[in-house]
Each structure stands twice: as structure tokens, then as C-alpha cells.
Amino acid sequence: MRQNTQIRRLVRETVLDTGDLIMPVFIKEGNANPTHVPSMPGVIVQNSKSVKDEVKTCIDLGIPAIMLFGIPSVRDNCGSSAYSSDNVISSAIRSLKNVFGDDIAIMADLCLDEYTDHGHCGILDESGVIKNDETLLLYEKTALSYAEAGIDFIAPSGMMDGQVAAIRRALDSAGYQDTAIMAYSAKYASAFYGPFRDAVEVSIVNGGDRKTYQQDIANANESLREIALDIQEGADIVMVKPAMTSLDIIARAKRRFNFPLAAYQVSGEYSMICMAAENNVIDRRSAVLEALTVIKRAGADCIITYFAKEAAGYLHDDQ
């Protein structure tokens, strides 16, 4: 059964497809030129012009969706540039929809951490504790401005309790019933987000962390409860993150819920492969395809990955 390529193809259980891939796209307000992210080799922070070329490349490669992340020029304690009408993401959605229509699905991460001066995903009280319910109101405002700009999927990543229900209610009551939600449902407080914070220029005040709102990596049942809640609250796709350290969660979630499931191969997973390959420790192409295929084998329907364009190229060559 493993004798040669053709026989292996016949009995292959998991086939990675370009249609499974979602490409993250960083866009920085006022960025004169596209810039590199030092800790993520090959990842570029776009500006309002270059983002169109990046998205065109994704479309040409057959990638079905992008996930936008914004880097604002101004940050304050309540993240107000996240929900201003000329927000960097809303402006990008408007111009990308204008140029590309439905040739690619547009998703945007919805969170406050890129927009607050303290770097937390919500607003804080005087003692530095997250105000969950007040934060939800700002998520709703942000969701409405993205929806108004024409987004396909809102992707709330802040891990506030009730965020999916709040956003769903706000969207429905403003007439955006067709705007979908990809929920970061099981999101761990992970060391593997380090390079991403470099890309979005976020550092958490006083050397803080997100352990009061992101999940403890030691817990699995909690993830299943979080996913169940998000499905109940109206999520259209649920997500598990990071991917490589949560393959057990992906497998259990798929079996338990049989619901559209995304996995996020995060920045640290990306950079580890890049850096090991650069040092000739592993073979890059095989490692990329293996990492993505096993995420799918575990049960993910789609994968957010910084390798999306590269993998699409490999899959195209293989045909």
C-alpha cells in the first residue's frame, strides 16, 4: 500500500487543497513603503496601495480568503482607532471589495490590542483589570464599521466572554444578517504568538500577559466548552489556535461538534519552520506541507497560515 506514489495516492486519507488556505495580511496606516517583519522571514507589512497587489497575488494562486490585521498610526487607552470610520481595516475592506468584489473572501481580525496603548485586548479599569462588558460595546462598534465597509467575515479574537453573541446581535439589528462570524473560540495564552506581536508592534504594558482572558494551555475540556458557547452564540466557523500545539483539541472539536472548523498556524509555528529551514536543519517544502496536512488530518476544514501563498505554489506544482 506504500509501494509507490500512485498507490499511496489511491489510499490517501487527507488531501491538502489550496481552497483550505487563508492568508493573513498585515496593513499599516501611513506606511510609506511595505516593510519586513524581522522575526517572520518573508512576511510583509503592507500599505493601502501594496495590499491590493498582495491580494491580487492570492487570487491568482487560487486562495479563497484573506485575514486582515491592522496597525494604526495612533493608539490610546480605549483603542478608538479600531472603530473610527476611517479605520485602517475599514478603509482597506472598502477598497479591496471595490477592486476585487467576491473574487476573494475578506475576513478581519477584530480585537483592540493593536489599537490600545497598553496592548491589552480590551479596556482596563483603574487597577488594570479588563472590563469585559464595556469592551463588548467597542467590539460591536468595530464590527459594525467593518460590516458597513463590506466585510464577509468578522473574526473576534479578544477572548472576551459573550463576544460572539454581542457581535451577532449588533450585526443583525443593523441589517447585516449576512455578515458571518469566524470566532477565535479556543485560543490559548501561547508563547507562539511572539513574532506576531513584533509584526503588529504590540507590547503589553508592564511586561503583562493575556492569561486572565486567553486559555490556560493545560486545559482541553475548557476548549470544548468555549467552542460550544460560540456555536450557541451564533458563530459560523469556530477556530482553534495555535494549531500545532492543539491538534488534540482540533480532533476532539471536529468529532464532538462536526461544525465548520478553522485552525490558525500562528506566527511562532511559521517562524520556527522558516528558521530551521534557513539553517538547513529541515527541508522547507516538506515541512510546510507536512505541518499543514496534519492540521487538516486532525480535523480542520480550513487553515489560517502565513505559508498560504507558498503552499498554494507547491500544490499547484504537484498537479
List of residues contacting ligand PBG (CB under 6 A): 109, 111, 113, 157, 193, 196, 210, 266-267
Q: Which is nearer to ligand PBG, 113 or 152 (CB)?
A: 113
Q: Which is nearer to ligand PBG, 103 or 201 (CB)?
A: 201
Smallest distance from ligand PBG to CB 189, Å: 8
Q: Which is nearer to ligand PBG, 82 or 253 (CB)?
A: 82
Q: Which is nearer to ligand PBG, 168 or 241 (CB)?
A: 241
What is the b/e burial string over 232-245, where b = at least 16 CB atoms within 10 angstroms of the residue's CB? Answer: ebbbbbbbbbbbbb
What's CA 73's distance to the chain center, in Å?
21
Smallest distance from ligand PBG to CB 229, Å: 19
- Other CB atoms closer than 10 Å to residue 301's CB: what's the count? 14
Residues contacting 139, CB < 8 A, separation 6+: 110, 112, 156, 158, 160, 163, 166, 167
What's CA 251's distance to the chain center, in Å?
19
What is the spatial distance between Cα 169 and Cα 8, in angstroms, rounded to a whole number? 48
Q: Can 309 be counted among the known catalytic residues?
A: no
Residues contacting 10, CB < 8 A, separation 6+: none
Q: Which is nearer to ligand PBG, 83 or 193 (CB)?
A: 193
The CA radius of gyration of the chain, in Å to the nearest whole number, is 19
Are 191 and 218 a contacting pair, CB within 8 Å? no
Q: Which among 257, 258, 246, 255 is positioned nearest to 303, based on CA atoms?
A: 246
Q: Tell me, what DSSP letter sits at residue 216?
A: P
* Candidate list 28, 52, 187, 254, residue with the active-site label: 187
Q: Which is nearer to ligand PBG, 55 or 244 (CB)?
A: 244
Smallest distance from ligand PBG to CB 206, Å: 16
∠23-28-34 over CA atoms, to 5°?
75
Smallest distance from ligand PBG to CB 135, Å: 13
Smallest distance from ligand PBG to CB 233, Å: 19
3-state secondary structure of 304: strand
* Candidate list 28, 241, 296, 309, residue with the active-site label: 241
- Intra-chain end-to-end CA distance of the chain, in Å: 21
Q: Which amino acid is at 56?
A: K
Q: Can 241 be counted among the known catalytic residues?
A: yes
Smallest distance from ligand PBG to CB 244, Å: 12
Q: Which residues are catalytic?
A: 187, 241
